[in-house]
Amino acid sequence: MKTVNSLTKILSALLILGIVTFVSCKKESSTTTSQDEINTTSEATTNDAAAEVEYNDVYDNVVNINAGENLGIVDGGGIFGREDSVGRCFTVTVSPATVGVFPKTVTIDFGAGCTGKDGRTRSGKIISVFTGHLAEPGQSVTTTFDNYYVDSFKIEGTHKITNVSTSNNRSFNVTVVNGKITKPNGKWFTWNSDRTIVQVEGNGSPRWPFDDKFEITGSKSGSNSEGKTWSATIVEKLIRTGDCRWIKKGVVSLTRNNIIATLDYGDGTCDNKATITVNGQTKVIILR
């Protein structure tokens, strides 16, 4: 009888030990992030940074075209990063051409390939419809794309800028709906965003962009051709200045499958570098 009881106690102890071990292993497995998941989240963060660059470039184009005489006839400095009006490799058409008549459609046509002062080659068309002069509060411009490429990356979607300025604050709401960037290898990712761009310096010299300073806040989301999705929030304001095409400072927090990545644009230096940190792993990326 003692032998049976002892055996029962041993079996019970082994069963309890097995359950504890199973639960412990399961818990450890559920809290361990695989390297594949880390790599996928890192790639999503890189894509978010790339989209920020490309659609900020669209913003620069549209705002600088608006600053031109008659919403399109740009003299002097020309469009951001492009050739000036003498010998430029793009064309600008405005319809209707009559001054003060809106809505007005402005088409920037880069043709089969137009390399700007920034070293980037653009092709295709950017088509923008202005409800009025963008400098006036309440006015907006909606931009779409016709076979538009930047350095072999195809840019799609709807980009909208709305002037939401107040008497003491020049600011714009900028949305991207169904944004899509297709890479030369055929892989693509989507990008939707709702951001606010506030000009905090340079308001007194609207025709001189080099003293401008902007703060960007808002949220973004995306997916890629492998079906992975993510969302992101600007947790420290992104800083841009008129004398630098890159984001100089700011932090974005990106979430994918409960994995959090941090995208840090640096300390304010004008360069094309940013730092991604995922699950304690950090790497530097080079922006295009």
Q: What residues have CB less than 8 Å from 86, skipping those under 6 apart? A: none
Please give the span between the terminal C-alpha atoms of the chain, in angstroms, as a whole number: 79
What is the structure's pLDDT at 27? Answer: 37
pTM over 0.85: no
Task: Give pLDDT tens digits for 1-58.
Answer: 444 455 455 445 444 444 444 444 443 334 467 899 999 999 999 999 999 999 999 9
User: Which tokens is 156 given?
Assistant: 């799609």
Q: What is the 3-state secondary structure (H, E, C) of 156-223?
A: EEEEEEEECCECCEEEEEEEEEEEEEECCCCCEEEEEEEEEEEEEECCCCCCCHHHCEEEEEEEEEEE
Give the domain ranges of the chain.
Answer: 34-286
pLDDT recorded at residue 9: 52
- Rounded Cα distance between 103 and 194, Å, is 24
Q: What are the backbone angles phi and psi of residue 211, rounded to the nearest 5°?
A: -105, 10
What are the residue ranges in the chain where pLDDT is below 70? 1-32, 67-87, 206-207
Q: What is the pLDDT of residue 203?
A: 79
Q: What is the pLDDT of residue 89?
A: 87
Q: What is the pLDDT of residue 269?
A: 95
Q: Are 125 and 146 in contact (CB under 8 A)?
A: yes
Nearest to residue 141, comparing CAs of 149, 133, 152? 133
